[in-house]
Amino acid sequence: MPVSPQKIPKRVVLYARDVENITGRKERAARRLLQKVREKFGIANDGFVTVREFSLYTGIDEDVVREFLLD
Protein backbone atom coordinates (compact mmCIF):
# COMPACT_ATOMS: atom_id res chain seq x y z
CA MET A 1 0.00 0.00 0.00
CA PRO A 2 1.54 3.36 -1.00
CA VAL A 3 2.22 5.86 1.73
CA SER A 4 0.53 9.18 1.12
CA PRO A 5 2.64 12.18 2.04
CA GLN A 6 1.24 14.14 4.95
CA LYS A 7 1.01 17.87 4.63
CA ILE A 8 2.85 19.52 7.49
CA PRO A 9 0.99 22.64 8.63
CA LYS A 10 2.77 25.94 8.81
CA ARG A 11 3.47 27.39 12.20
CA VAL A 12 0.58 29.45 13.58
CA VAL A 13 2.16 31.02 16.67
CA LEU A 14 4.64 33.86 16.92
CA TYR A 15 7.71 34.21 19.07
CA ALA A 16 9.65 37.34 19.97
CA ARG A 17 12.25 36.51 17.31
CA ASP A 18 9.52 36.52 14.66
CA VAL A 19 8.26 39.90 15.85
CA GLU A 20 11.83 41.23 15.67
CA ASN A 21 12.06 40.12 12.03
CA ILE A 22 8.65 41.51 11.12
CA THR A 23 8.91 44.90 12.83
CA GLY A 24 12.66 45.50 13.07
CA ARG A 25 12.33 46.03 16.81
CA LYS A 26 14.82 44.80 19.36
CA GLU A 27 14.07 41.72 21.49
CA ARG A 28 12.79 43.63 24.52
CA ALA A 29 10.41 45.75 22.42
CA ALA A 30 9.22 42.64 20.57
CA ARG A 31 8.43 40.93 23.89
CA ARG A 32 6.51 44.01 25.06
CA LEU A 33 4.50 44.04 21.85
CA LEU A 34 3.61 40.36 22.26
CA GLN A 35 2.55 41.10 25.85
CA LYS A 36 0.27 43.90 24.63
CA VAL A 37 -1.32 41.50 22.15
CA ARG A 38 -1.86 38.97 24.96
CA GLU A 39 -3.51 41.63 27.13
CA LYS A 40 -5.77 42.77 24.28
CA PHE A 41 -7.03 39.24 23.58
CA GLY A 42 -7.09 38.02 27.19
CA ILE A 43 -4.32 35.45 26.70
CA ALA A 44 -2.40 34.20 29.73
CA ASN A 45 1.14 35.54 30.21
CA ASP A 46 2.59 32.22 29.11
CA GLY A 47 0.06 31.72 26.29
CA PHE A 48 0.79 31.71 22.59
CA VAL A 49 -0.01 34.58 20.23
CA THR A 50 -1.29 33.45 16.84
CA VAL A 51 -0.55 35.03 13.50
CA ARG A 52 -4.21 36.08 13.29
CA GLU A 53 -4.17 37.82 16.69
CA PHE A 54 -0.93 39.61 15.91
CA SER A 55 -2.30 40.71 12.54
CA LEU A 56 -5.52 42.01 14.05
CA TYR A 57 -3.62 43.96 16.71
CA THR A 58 -0.96 45.48 14.45
CA GLY A 59 -2.93 45.82 11.22
CA ILE A 60 -0.24 43.91 9.31
CA ASP A 61 -1.77 41.47 6.82
CA GLU A 62 -1.54 37.79 7.83
CA ASP A 63 0.15 36.86 4.56
CA VAL A 64 2.89 39.42 5.18
CA VAL A 65 3.42 38.08 8.71
CA ARG A 66 3.65 34.50 7.44
CA GLU A 67 6.36 35.50 4.94
CA PHE A 68 8.60 36.48 7.85
CA LEU A 69 8.13 33.35 9.95
CA LEU A 70 11.36 31.49 10.60
CA ASP A 71 11.29 27.72 10.22
Q: What DSSP string runs through 11-59? A: P-EE-HHHHHHHH---HHHHHHHHHHHHHHHT--TT--EEHHHHHHHH-
Dihedral sign (CA 9, 12, 14, 15): negative
* Residue spans per domain, the chain: 13-67
Other Cβ atoms within 10 Å of 30 Cβ, number: 21
Percent of the chain with pLDDT over 70: 90
pLDDT for residue 11: 85
Q: The whole model's pTM is what?
A: 0.84
pLDDT tens across the length of the chain (71 residues): 666 677 766 889 999 999 999 999 999 999 999 999 999 999 999 999 999 999 999 999 999 999 988 76
